[in-house]
Amino acid sequence: MNEIIDKITNMTNEEKYELLDYLKTIINNEFEFNECRINECYKCHSKKIVKLGFYNGMQRYRCNNCGVSFTSKSKSIFATTKLEKEKWLKYVECFVDCLSLRRCAEKTGVCLKTSYFMRHRIIECLKQNQNPFVVLKST
């Protein structure tokens, strides 16, 4: 994780703005999620799934192979967050500015533990979305 922060620190302002726009786009897309029909289990990829009622207005499924229950949003990066989108967008700005965890927590109005959690989610977001920034790609 420190290598990612080091690489962001060495970016030009233009590259930082591009990264910020990229992360904001990902967050907006995640929060404007549209439910889709599920054909297989996200964990074991079995086709043996059944409907299992609804959760927060979304269709819930259960895999008859591994027993896991899930919705179409279960595998997304922000699936379990209780924070609103605006806090995530504000945190991304702090992250790109390479502020400390404590400073990020102060600016976004969350506790230090939540700030740590958010930082790791954003790093996971960068890894999972195959970011176009050559500077951030690990060698």
Q: Is 6 exposed, middle or buried (0-12, 13-18, 19+ CB in 10 A)?
A: exposed
d(C-alpha 119, C-alpha 45), whole Å? 29
φ, ψ of residue 65 to 5 degrees: the values are -85, -55
What is the per-residue pLDDT across 68-112, written as a single tens digit (0 to 9) for each?
A: 988 877 777 777 788 888 999 999 999 999 899 999 999 999 999
Chain mean position to CA 110 = 17
| Alpha carbon separation from 84 to 3, 21, 31, 78 (Å, rounded) | 28, 18, 9, 10
What are the pLDDT digits (tens) for 19-39? 899 989 888 887 776 667 778
Confidence of residue 134 (pLDDT cuts 50, 70, 90): very low
> Which structure tokens are listed for 39?
């054909």
Q: What pLDDT is stored for residue 33 in this prediction? A: 64
For 87, residues 6+ apart whose C-beta sits below 8 A from its C-beta are 108, 109, 110
Integer-rounded Cα radius of gyration of the chain: 17
Which pLDDT value is given to residue 81?
A: 82
Q: Give the model's confidence band at 138: pLDDT under 50 very low, under 70 low, under 90 confident, else very high.
A: very low
Q: What is the DSSP letter of 83?
A: S
